[in-house]
Amino acid sequence: MLLFVGLGNPGPKHAGNRHNIGFMAVQAIARRHELSPWRRRFQGVAVEGTIAGERVLLLLPGTYMNESGRAVAEAMHFYKLELGNVVVFHDEVDLRTAKVRVKVGGGVAGHNGLRSITAHVGNDYKRVRIGIDKPDIKELVPTHVLGDFAKNDWAWVEALCDVIADNAALLVEGRDSTFQNKVHLAMEAKGFGEDEELPGSE
């Protein structure tokens, strides 16, 4: 069994925040694979189903970002999961807008959700890093991540979440490099490629 965790803050006030793109990606996976209904579990909401022949639990912690590890730890302990079975989807200011990278372990780079998960369960889980870019002035980063996506951002946000959902089976199968490449090529095909000047890009 795998655990897919989307990071974000609960409630309508935060629903459109850049910090919530992890929530958005995991919700898109649930829609794409027709997993429902979401139920209150593990200090958040969760839904269980099958992707690529594997049981997968999708979890959106309801603890607020900086306590995400509590929800993840509870789900892991309930299902007796190893860290290698955990995949965390989160916003990444150190990646350009709409870029996606997958890695296992590494630093938390100031991300409070990752910091909380690492503190509760350890560091060697898989991260799907979803680029939201960052402002030129470091002090503006908190405002940036907690701000809503602009109207002209939503085309690439929705496209990217759909592409992640379309290719989620590759993550289940452990084909991380193929997943990255497929996402990249699909976004290029939709007009959001390397040469496309996206909102929020430098």
Determine, yes or no, domain membership for 201.
no
Q: What is the pLDDT of residue 127?
A: 96
Determine, yes or no, domain membership for 195.
no
Determine, yes or no, domain membership for 22.
yes
Determine, yes or no, domain membership for 93.
yes
* Domains of the chain: total: 1
**Ramachandran category for residue 122: left, alpha or beta (phi over 0 → left; psi -120 to 50 → alpha):** left
Task: Tell me which residue range forms the domain holding 78.
Answer: 2-189
Residues 29 and 49: their CA atoms lie apart, in Å, by: 11
Enumerate the active-site residues.
19
Q: Are the C-beta atoms of residues 29 and 164 closer than 8 Å to each other?
A: yes
Q: What is the CATH number of the domain that holds 146?
A: 3.40.50.1470
Nearest to 38 by CA among 67, 6, 60, 63: 60
Determine, yes or no, domain membership for 199.
no
The region of weakest confidence among 29-38, 156-165, 192-201 is 192-201
Global pTM?
0.93
Determine, yes or no, domain membership for 202.
no
Determine, yes or no, domain membership for 90.
yes
Q: Give percent of the chain above pLDDT 90.
A: 86
Determine, yes or no, domain membership for 162.
yes
